[in-house]
Amino acid sequence: MIFLKSFIKNRFTAFHFFYRYLGIRVFFVLGLSLLVGFLDGLGLTMFLPLLKIADGGSDVIGDGLGKLGMLVEWLNDLGIELTLFTVLCFMLLFFTLKGVASFYSTYYKVAVRQYFVREMRLKLLTHLSNYSYKHFVSSDAGRIQNALTGEVGRVATAYTNYFGTLQSLVMVMVYMVFAFMVDWRFALLICAGGLLTDLVFRRIYTVTKKLSSNVTRLGNTYQRLMIQFVQNFKYLKATGTSGDYAKKMKFIVKDIESNNLRMSVLGIRISAIREPMLIGIVCMVIMVQVYALKGSLSAVLVSLLFFYRSLASLTAMQTNYNNFLSVSASLDNISTFESELKEGREADGISELSGFENGIQLKDIDFSYEDISVLRSIHLDIRKNTTVAFVGESGSGKTTLVNVITGLLPVSRGQVLVDDMPLSELKLQSYQKHIGYITQEAVIFNDTIFNNVTFWEEDTPENRDKFWRVLKQASIDGFVDQLPEKADSLLGHGGLNLSGGQRQRISIARELYKEADILILDEATSALDSQTEREIQENIELLQGQYTLLIVAHRLSTIKHADTIVLMENGTIKATGDFDQLVASNSQFKAMVELQTFENE
């Protein structure tokens, strides 16, 4: 059968996927369906004695039931005589038990679904937080977002439909066994009916599968464009291009809708043709029984019951399978996404770094992205509480070098030593907990100032004290104090509008609250107005000498007082020294200083 072939060939991986998350639970789900089918079969069997009694037969024996007659004989042997009363009692008993089993079966399936979704989300979140920065920068943010939101939901739907398919398959098999036991000729007719319906569904399956992978692909693109829309909102508004950008996205929205609509129409078509197809087959069977086999109608009524049930399960199976196919691409997507996250896992050491006492040393390091060499033969000694600034042309490797120092990027050769311990042997987080990161586009969360600074610490009197202490240190306490809601004022979208300098002071306060020892200041390339520049200059001076400062500098005026300036060129260190030393000894640096002084005049 086409269905079975496709199911077994393509969907074993799906079974394996679910099994990895659910283990033995998958067998319980199927076992409970088996029980429901079995109890239903027993209940239906009782119709035959009932019909015999209705026909006026007094002694009910097992003939006409085929091999199932054994059941009646077995009951007789037990001394239970099948009268109208006992038959009805048995029928009631079997259907009640079926009802109970069916309740638990559905309940269990739903509970397992919740468990599955939760486990999958937790696992993906863990993988994502362990994902290395090196892999992250070259991955598609839209895809990550889509996988963790929309696709997880679609995989949950895949679960429901996949197990719906398997459950229906179990039911079909149970009814087939019952049907075979009653009359093998009917069983054969079921198979024939099945094959017939299969042909109808064949094409629908293929189209659905293609549409499903379209929806996943478009979903990834949509999320990617959406992220960029939000991130670059200011630019798009300022340049009057937000409409054009939205237009580009609207095409995708329409595409997704039309794919979804086509898939829904296929689903609707399946459910619409289901009933007439079933009745058509039943009519054919009755004709064959009465005219070709010259049997009586009442003798086949019970068989017809099995027959009808079996075909109903068969079409339910096909509907479920088609629904499963419509989301199957998401299953593949999540599956590959998960293995990519696993493969891109950050390498981590085992030793904990408790304090930061001496400094960081870079010993002859190289760094490259795949084949592209970015840093070469870097030697550098960074003592605790000194200020080191990295200058050089755009693309000379400043940001990459700082990323290597923070452990975001692993070196290709050489060693990074933190307090004389190789970084590769340290638990990265235990080191990174000592690092504070301050970018010019300060990181502000949509929350209160208190939560922004404390990073959602508990609101206790001690933490409040510490909060105000660091605000003072970052020179933002006066501003916060005069706000109507003070520490509880909301920041971010829909919150307070802060100036560039104020935002930066809030983010400095966050790093101070965290008690970071090493502060990274990345002055993004955007041109600063002189007011903000002065504020930043003051911010940096506040911290010098108390913290180890690493400054990626684009403006030389901000680093005049740095202890060491590292001049980078084409992935190597060209010269090091303090400001005056470099002006005196390095013509390139001198030229840069003169150019910027000239620009500022």
Residues forming the site for ligand ADP (CB under 6 A): 137-138, 369, 372, 374, 392, 394-400
Token pair of 306, please? 């099995």
Question: DSSP label at 507?
Answer: H
Kindly tell me which of 318 and 400 has the beta carbon lying closer to ligand ADP.
400
State how far the Cα of 540 lies from the Cα of 551, in Å rounded to an integer.
9
Cβ atoms < 10 Å from Cβ of 423: 21
Kindly tell me which of 33 and 396 has the beta carbon lying closer to ligand ADP.
396
Name residues whose C-beta falls within 8 Å of residue 331's C-beta, 6 or more positions apart in sequence. Answer: 14, 17, 155, 158
Kindly tell me which of 347 and 372 has the beta carbon lying closer to ligand ADP.
372
Kindly tell me which of 90 and 367 has the beta carbon lying closer to ligand ADP.
367
Kindly tell me which of 37 and 571 has the beta carbon lying closer to ligand ADP.
571
Least distance to ligand ADP, CB of residue 542, Å: 25
Kindly tell me which of 311 and 553 has the beta carbon lying closer to ligand ADP.
553
Spell out the long-range contacts of 228-235 with Cβ–Cβ below 8 A and sequence spacing 24 or more.
Answer: none
User: Is 20 strand, coil or helix?
Assistant: helix
Kindly tell me which of 396 and 548 has the beta carbon lying closer to ligand ADP.
396
Surface-to-core class of residue 122, CB atoms within 10 Å of its CB (0-12 exposed, 13-18 middle, 19+ buried): exposed
Contact between 508 and 539 (Cβ < 8 Å): yes
Least distance to ligand ADP, CB of residue 573, Å: 12
State how far the Cα of 70 lies from the Cα of 64, in Å rounded to an integer.
11
Least distance to ligand ADP, CB of residue 232, Å: 19
Alpha-carbon torsion (243, 247, 253, 254), positive or negative: positive
Token pair of 269, please? 């078509």
Kindly tell me which of 258 and 373 has the beta carbon lying closer to ligand ADP.
373
Cβ atoms < 10 Å from Cβ of 100: 13
Least distance to ligand ADP, CB of residue 397, Å: 4
Least distance to ligand ADP, CB of residue 393, Å: 7
Kindly tell me which of 138 and 497 has the beta carbon lying closer to ligand ADP.
138
Least distance to ligand ADP, CB of residue 554, Å: 9
Least distance to ligand ADP, CB of residue 551, Å: 12
Least distance to ligand ADP, CB of residue 369, Å: 4
Strands 372-383 and 421-422: unpaired
Token pair of 506, please? 């809030």
State how far the Cα of 507 lies from the Cα of 513, in Å rounded to an integer.
10
Alpha-carbon torsion (551, 553, 558, 563), positive or negative: positive
User: Is 180 strand, coil or helix?
Assistant: helix
Cβ atoms < 10 Å from Cβ of 271: 12
Question: DSSP label at 439?
Answer: E
State how far the Cα of 122 lies from the Cα of 221, in Å rounded to an integer.
24
Least distance to ligand ADP, CB of residue 568, Å: 6
How far, CA to CA in Å, does 601 sit from each of 530, 547, 596, 598? 12, 32, 9, 5
Token pair of 580, please? 């005056």
Least distance to ligand ADP, CB of residue 239, Å: 24
Kindly tell me which of 219 and 392 has the beta carbon lying closer to ligand ADP.
392
Least distance to ligand ADP, CB of residue 428, Å: 19
Question: DSSP label at 529?
Answer: P
Kindly tell me which of 209 and 398 has the beta carbon lying closer to ligand ADP.
398
Assign residue 385 a region: left if phi > 0, alpha if psi is -120 to 50, beta otherwise?
A: left
User: Is 485 strand, coil or helix?
Assistant: coil
DSSP secondary structure string for all residues of 107-162: HHHHHHHHHHHHHHHHHHHHHHHHB-HHHHHTS-HHHHHHIIIIIHHHHHHHHHHH
The helix (H) or strand (E) run that includes residue 490 is none
Kindly tell me which of 17 and 437 has the beta carbon lying closer to ligand ADP.
437
Kindly tell me which of 140 and 419 has the beta carbon lying closer to ligand ADP.
140
Question: DSSP label at 397?
Answer: S
Kindly tell me which of 120 and 567 has the beta carbon lying closer to ligand ADP.
567
Least distance to ligand ADP, CB of residue 407, Å: 16
Least distance to ligand ADP, CB of residue 574, Å: 12
Contact between 571 and 398 (Cβ < 8 Å): no
State how far the Cα of 506 lies from the Cα of 450, in Å rounded to an integer.
10
Kindly tell me which of 370 and 458 has the beta carbon lying closer to ligand ADP.
370
Least distance to ligand ADP, CB of residue 402, Å: 8
Least distance to ligand ADP, CB of residue 585, Å: 21
For residue 47, give the nearest of 309, 307, 298 by alpha carbon: 298
Q: Going along 334-483, which residue ranges are E strands?
A: 359-369, 372-383, 387-392, 413-418, 421-422, 435-439
| Chain center to CA of 61 | 60
The helix (H) or strand (E) run that includes residue 340 is helix 297-343
